[in-house]
């Protein structure tokens, strides 16, 4: 065992270094580190923080991460049911099997980094980041509870998330796809594009959300499937809750659809009635239609992208595009779709020219 200026460092059988400091007569663990240098630096940082007389519970630090995680989970409130179900799956399948049996005081940044790397070998960057967020929140809770001095995930490097390339249809290609898909979902394809709906918003659309003759549409219900279970509720953000007027021809398609496929509270129900399950719909109806229409590869979400492109091509103001698309801000619309808005720029220049000419 070696001593630093502020505490002690003990090399473990694993080859890692356990760092401890003394606060108000108590020996407390700072953490376990891959090198002596890292342990020394941690002791120095902890020694400075200990000036505020913060005391760490050594006994609690010996408990396995999975034990603390279960107690923490019961205090994690305020999330949507679908979010809670998704995060529980992440906790059970991606986090606890790998890190659950490690004592909290021995969890090192290297352990977290190795876990992130292992996840990255089988999951997308966005999924890795979601799993990391849950671990990061859990470890923040250990610091708040006085179990650890610092969060060992604080400086872990995460994979970069790159947005998948957006697919776009021309209005003509959209009509071909609508003609190709099962007739029960022709109006759904057209509505998702021209009303810029996500798949969950289309699945959750109810007859009560449509105005007279389907001329207006209100997005107030969203359907998400997590772990085979359907969760239904309002859109995640207030911006996602929106009302819009539909093009007359699309309203006519939607009104005719309701006449032909009536009786269900949902506008676009499951083929056998009830709420539509998105993954099954993709497999049974969407992918075969996309292939037959010759527009593959294309995701249902690309209908929303196409709808934004239609709005931009029509010269609609970006603030109205953002509102119809359910974006939280116009800045987000410009960030994702700025390359689609040259017509708006041209119209602005023309209006400025008209203003200048009128004053000459």
> Is the bond preceding 272 in cis, omega lying within 30 degrees of 0?
no
At 27 the pLDDT is 67
Domains of the chain: 1-56 (3.30.730), 60-162 (1.10.150.130), 171-348 (1.10.443.10)
The torsion angles phi and psi of 267, rounded to 5 degrees, stand at -70, -40
Q: For the chain, what percent of residues have pLDDT higher than 90?
A: 51
Cα 224 to Cα 153, 167, 275: the distances in Å are 30, 22, 10
In this predicted model, which residue has the larger pLDDT, 72 or 77?
A: 72
**pLDDT for res 70:** 95
Give residue 53's pLDDT: 43
Of all residues in the chain, what percent are helix, strand and coil, respectively (each to 5)?
55, 10, 30
Query: First vs last Cα of the chain: how many Å apart?
Result: 87
Q: Which of 39-43, 85-89, 168-172, 174-178 has the highest mean pLDDT?
A: 174-178
- What pLDDT band is residue 146 in, cutting at 50, 70 and 90? confident
User: Which two tokens mark 121?
Assistant: 């070998």
User: Which has the minimum average pLDDT: 126-130, 199-203, 295-299, 348-352?
Assistant: 348-352
Strand partners, 17: 11, 33
- Residue 245 pairs with which residues in a beta bridge? 216
Least confidently predicted of 29-33, 263-267, 331-335: 29-33
> 146 phi and psi, to 5 degrees?
75, 20
Residue 164, classified by CB atoms within 10 Å of its CB into exposed (0-12), middle (13-18) or buried (19+), is exposed
Q: Say whether pLDDT at 229 is over 50.
A: yes
pLDDT of residue 197: 96
Q: Which residue(s) pair with 33 in the sheet? A: 17
138: helix, strand or coil: helix
- What residues form DSSP beta bridges with 225? 230
Vertex 158 angle, CA 154 and 161, to 5°: 140
Q: Is 149 exposed, middle or buried (0-12, 13-18, 19+ CB in 10 A)?
A: buried
What whole-number distance in Å separates Cα of residue 63 and Cα of residue 141?
14
pLDDT for residue 337? 81
* More confident call, 20 vs 241: 241
Question: 263 in the Ramachandran plot: left (φ > 0), alpha (ψ -120 to 50) or beta?
Answer: left
In this structure, are residues 156 and 109 in contact, taking their beta carbons and an 8 Å threshold?
yes
What's the whole-number mean pLDDT along residues 196-202?
96
Neighbours of 316 (CB within 10 A): 17
Buried b (16+ CB within 10 A) or exposed e, 201-231: bbbbbeeebbeeebbebebbbbbbbbeeebb
Residue 277 pLDDT > 50: yes
Kindly calculate the radius of gyration of the chain based on its CA atoms and give it in whole angstroms: 27
- Per-residue pLDDT averaged across 68-79, rounded? 90
Full-model pTM: 0.69
**For residue 49, what pLDDT is reported?**
54
- Quote the pLDDT of residue 4: 46
Q: Does position 92 have pLDDT exceeding 80, yes or no?
A: yes
User: Do 192 and 267 meet the contact criterion of CB atoms below 8 Å apart?
Assistant: no
CA 326 – CA 343 distance, rounded (Å): 21
Confidence of residue 52 (pLDDT cuts 50, 70, 90): very low
């Amino acid at each position: 065992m070696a001593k630093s200026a502020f505490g002690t460092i003990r090399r473990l059988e694993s080859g890692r270094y356990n760092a401890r400091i003394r606060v108000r007569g108590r020996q407390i663990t700072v953490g376990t580190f891959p090198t002596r240098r890292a342990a020394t630096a941690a002791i120095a940082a902890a020694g400075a923080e200990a000036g505020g007389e913060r005391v760490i519970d050594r006994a609690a630090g010996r408990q396995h991460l999975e034990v603390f995680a279960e107690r923490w989970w019961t205090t994690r409130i305020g999330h949507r049911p679908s979010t809670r179900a998704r995060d529980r799956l992440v906790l059970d399948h991606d986090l606890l099997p790998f890190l659950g049996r490690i004592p909290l005081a021995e969890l090192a940044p290297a352990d977290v980094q190795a876990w992130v790397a292992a996840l990255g070998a089988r999951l997308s960057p966005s999924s890795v980041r979601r799993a990391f967020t849950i671990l990061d929140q859990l470890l923040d809770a250990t610091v708040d509870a006085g179990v650890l001095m610092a969060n060992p995930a604080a400086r872990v490097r995460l994979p970069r998330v790159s947005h998948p390339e957006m697919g776009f249809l021309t209005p003509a290609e959209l009509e071909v796809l609508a003609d190709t898909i099962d007739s029960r979902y022709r109006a759904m394809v057209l509505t998702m594009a021209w009303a810029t709906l996500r798949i969950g918003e289309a699945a959750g659309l109810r007859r009560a959300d449509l105005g007279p003759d389907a001329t207006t549409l209100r997005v107030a219900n969203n359907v998400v499937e997590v772990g085979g279970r359907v969760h239904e509720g309002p859109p995640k953000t207030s911006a996602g809750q929106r009302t819009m007027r539909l093009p007359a021809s699309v309203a006519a398609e939607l009104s005719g659809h309701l006449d032909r496929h009536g009786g269900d509270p949902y506008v676009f129900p499951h083929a056998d009635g009830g709420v539509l399950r998105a993954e099954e719909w993709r497999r049974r109806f969407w992918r075969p239609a996309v292939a037959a229409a010759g527009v593959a590869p294309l995701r249902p979400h690309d209908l929303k992208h196409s709808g934004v492109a239609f709005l931009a091509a029509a010269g609609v103001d970006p603030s109205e595009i953002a509102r119809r698309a359910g974006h939280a801000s116009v800045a987000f619309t410009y960030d994702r779709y700025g390359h689609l808005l040259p017509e708006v720029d041209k119209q602005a220049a023309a209006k400025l020219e008209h203003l200048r000419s009128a004053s000459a």
